Amino acid sequence: MDLRIVHLYPDLMSIYGDRGNVRTLERRAAWRDIAVEVRTCTAGETLDPEWADLYFFGGGQDRGQHLVGADLASANGAALRSAIAGGSAVLAVCGGYQLLGHQYAPQTGPVIPGLGVLDVTTRATKTRFVGDLLAERDGATLVGFENHSGLTTLGPAAVPLARVTHGHGNNGKDRTEGAVQGAIIGTYCHGSVLPKNPWLADLLLTWALRRRHGAVALTTLDDREEDAAHDAAARVARSRR
């Protein structure tokens, strides 16, 4: 088997070590003898909607989001929508997560229209949510580091990625963290999120491989080091007041 990954806007939307998510997907696939090719695509380049099995979309500052939002309003946005409709999986973090929604409203300046493939809406506030986060999903735990001022609300087509036990998550009120819709995952967890949450990395790999290879049962890996990192982050999150 082989896996094709596109890292979207790595020069504009890649802060807080988020490119480590791509490295994690590469390594966890390679450890299973799955060949991996990674390409990048940024503003002004042409996105091929037929090539990738998985897209990674990282976080950035408001300036980067304005530039990316404009690019998504062009043919690249239509190409990404087509790729998602064709079965490609997506992991989007923070700013990327916001831009996959209906819109992002910054504190100043015009609203940035989103791609609309996630049923979420985000507006910026003066409150900033910073710190380690711990959340629960179907018996698994999610850890990460959040740093955002966006308040994201979910519509009926999206479901939360996890329920917050320590930290703030989407908006600091409803205890939701991230969103899932089809094979798209959005999250506010930086850090990067996948090295410390191998179950989430493997879920994305399963979805991505399904596009061209059908249902795939991944072999089990020795995740003792990953689990130790996860547990250490969880302890820090639980220490938050």
Q: Where are the domains of the chain?
A: 2-238
Fold held by 2-238:
Rossmann fold (3.40.50)
User: Mean pLDDT of all residues in the chain?
Assistant: 96
What per-residue confidence (pLDDT) applies to 198?
98
* The pLDDT of residue 28 is above 90: yes
pLDDT digits (tens, 9 = 90+) for 165-205: 999 999 999 999 999 999 999 999 998 999 999 999 999 99
Catalytic residues: 94, 190
What per-residue confidence (pLDDT) applies to 109?
86
pLDDT digits (tens, 9 = 90+) for 47-73: 999 999 999 999 987 778 889 999 999
Is the peptide bond prior to 14 cis by the omega test (within 30 degrees of 0)?
A: no
pLDDT digits (tens, 9 = 90+) for 114-170: 999 999 999 999 999 999 999 999 999 999 999 999 999 999 999 999 999 999 999
The percent of residues in the chain predicted with pLDDT above 70, rounded, is: 100
The percent of residues in the chain predicted with pLDDT above 90, rounded, is: 91
